[in-house]
Amino acid sequence: MNLTQLNKNYNTKLKCLNYLEKLRWGKAVTCTKCNSDNVVDLKNQAGRFHCNECKTTFSVLSDTMFEDSRLELPTWFQIIGLMLNSKTGISAKEIERDTGVTYKTAWYAAMRVRCAMIDHCNIELENIVEMDESYFGGKPKRVVLPENEPSLSRVENKRGRGTKKTPVVGIVERNGNIVLKVVEKLTTRNLLAMLNEYVKTENAVVVTDDFSSYKGFDAIVQHLTINHSKKEWVRGAIHTNTIEGFWSIVKGSIRGNYISISRKYLPFYLVQAQYVFNNRNFKGNLFERFMKEALKTNPVMEHYKPIKPVKEIVHPKCPPKK
């Protein structure tokens, strides 16, 4: 949904409330605490309801990402529209310029939107799956050579493994979804745990590069390797080009939109990149789809800070898969 449609259809608080109430409850309003339908509309307070069972007063915004926000709903809708339409991300400064809110408000709202994009528990990959790691951080520092060194052209600054950059592991199903996770130690145990969490190993073929920590995959899944150390990039259908292409897009968006991202909040930006990728082929109303999920999301940001560790927010404990 573009901004013209948003400004036309949801330019008042009442219009926004009516839209959210329809998405959350349909025709029958139910209490957000006890789920009772014995509620009354408080006519003197627009959008507020009272439950006659548990004596709670609530609104459609209760227990959602919008709760306790002073930001007007029409502006919330604009920010969400901007972020959903920006396929390579959008910075808080750009949101500030486009909506007229302060930078701190733009940053805070964008973080709440990213938290509502979290959907790891519903991802299950199969068929041909590619797995690879990438490293996020600043450019390597330039090495200063002694004065008698004739040229700097032969200097190679270390990149990736062995640096202090943040390692991120991605698993993508070809023509399917992707899942991303910050993994501090790229051990076989940690990579296997991620593989088992998101991949139906009995129905999958996993393609990786020749990194030694992937060798343990052979015992639990059909595992094919492409030997990058010997300058081998494609061997028929054996390659990791899908995931490597994704890394290129994400890092390009960071350089172009955000300039730099802190290690602490990197998982939130990865969530947005994952959400955009996984909805790339969705033909319906993405704005409505997002809003339905946002109304199920409890607030996880308070006073510009996460209410619990970022890893616990981005990767919550999922119910056992049936």
pLDDT in tens, 267-309: 999 999 999 999 999 999 999 999 998 998 888 888 888 988 9
Tell whether 23 is covered by a domain.
yes
> Is 146 among the domain residues?
no
Q: Are 15 and 97 part of one and the same domain?
A: yes
Q: Is residue 210 part of a domain?
A: yes
Same domain, 88 and 130: no
125 and 254 together in one domain: yes
Instruction: Quote the tokens at residue 166.
Output: 């943040």
The pLDDT score that the predictor gives to residue 143 is: 56
Region of poorest pLDDT, from 62-66, 71-75, 140-144, 311-315: 140-144
Whether the per-residue pLDDT at 149 is higher than 90: the answer is: no
Q: Where is the domain boundary, 248, 266, 284?
A: 266
The answer to whether residue 187 scores a pLDDT higher than 80 is: yes
Whether residues 75 and 188 fall in one domain: no
Q: Is residue 296 part of a domain?
A: no
Q: What is the pLDDT of residues 110-143, one digit of tens each?
A: 999 999 999 888 899 999 999 999 999 866 655 5
- The pLDDT of residue 231 is 82
Residue at 318 is within a domain: no
Does residue 59 form part of some domain? Answer: yes
Q: What percent of the chain has pLDDT over 90?
A: 69
Domain count of the fold of the chain:
2
Q: Which residue has the higher pLDDT, 137 or 146?
A: 137
57 & 178 share domain = no
3-state DSSP call for residue 200?
Answer: strand
Is residue 110 in a domain? yes
State whether 14 and 67 are in the same domain: yes
Axis-axis angle for helices 92-99, 73-85 (nearest 10):
130
User: Which three-class secondary structure state does DSSP give residue 305?
Assistant: strand
- Chain segment 249-268, per-residue pLDDT in tens: 999 999 889 988 899 999 99
Nearest Cα to 315, choosing from 190, 137, 143?
Answer: 190
pLDDT value, residue 121? 84
Domain termination site, one of 233, 266, 299? 266
pLDDT level of residue 177 (50, 70, 90 thresholds):
very high
The pTM score is 0.88
The predicted model gives 72-76 an average pLDDT of 96
93 and 125 both lie in a single domain = no
Q: Within this chain, do residues 234 and 130 fall inside the same structural domain, yes or no?
A: yes
What is the per-residue pLDDT across 190-242, written as a single tens digit (0 to 9) for each? 999 999 999 999 999 999 999 999 999 999 999 999 988 878 888 888 999 99
Q: Determine the angle formed by the axes of helices 286-294 and 73-85, rounding to 10 degrees.
A: 120
pLDDT of residue 51: 94
Alpha-carbon gap, residue 219 to 159, rounded angstroms: 30
- Structural domain that includes position 27: 3-116
**Does residue 153 lie in a domain region?**
no
Instruction: Give the model's pLDDT for residue 321.
Output: 67
Exposed (0-12), middle (13-18) or buried (19+): which is 139, by Cβ within 10 Å? exposed
The pLDDT of 164-182, averaged and rounded, is 94
If you compute the radius of gyration of the chain from its CA atoms, what whole number of angstroms results?
A: 23
Percent of the chain with pLDDT over 70: 91
Is 130 in the same domain as 186? Answer: yes
Mean pLDDT score of the chain: 89
Task: Select from 53, 83, 116 the last residue of a domain.
Answer: 116
CB 160 within 8 A of CB 173: no
Contacts of 157 by beta carbon, 8 Å cutoff, 6+ apart: 140, 141, 142, 143
Residues 63 and 25 placed together within one structural domain of the fold: yes
Give yes or no: residues 102 and 30 share one domain: yes
Q: Is the pLDDT of residue 58 over 90?
A: yes
Q: Do residues 172 and 66 share a domain?
A: no
